[in-house]
Amino acid sequence: MKRQQFLRHRLQTLSALRDAVGAMRSLSAHHFRRARQSLPSARGYRSEMDTIIAEIGIHQPLHVGVPAALLVIASDLGLCGDYNSRLSRLAVSEARTHHVSTIYSVGRRARAALAKHALVPDRSYDAPASLEGLSQLLLGLAQDVLDDYMGRRIGSLHVVSASFEGVGHFQPISLRVLPIEPVAATGPLRRSPYVDSNHLTAVAVREFLYITLYEILLDALAAEHGMRLMAAESALEWLESTATATSRRLISARSEAATQELLDIVAGGRKRLSDEQT
The tens digit of pLDDT for each residue in 98-139 reads 999 999 999 999 898 899 999 999 999 999 888 888 888 998
- What lies within 8 Å, CB to CB, of 233 at 6+ separation is 25
The tens digit of pLDDT for each residue in 59-84 reads 666 566 789 999 999 999 888 889 99
Q: How confident is the model at residue 225 (pLDDT cuts 50, 70, 90)?
A: very high
The tens digit of pLDDT for each residue in 139-180 reads 899 999 999 998 889 999 999 999 999 888 999 999 999 888
Q: What is the pLDDT of residue 263?
A: 57
* pLDDT exceeds 90 at position 277: no
Q: How confident is the model at residue 196 (pLDDT cuts 50, 70, 90)?
A: confident
Single pTM value for the model: 0.81
Question: Which residues share a beta bridge with 158?
Answer: 70, 176
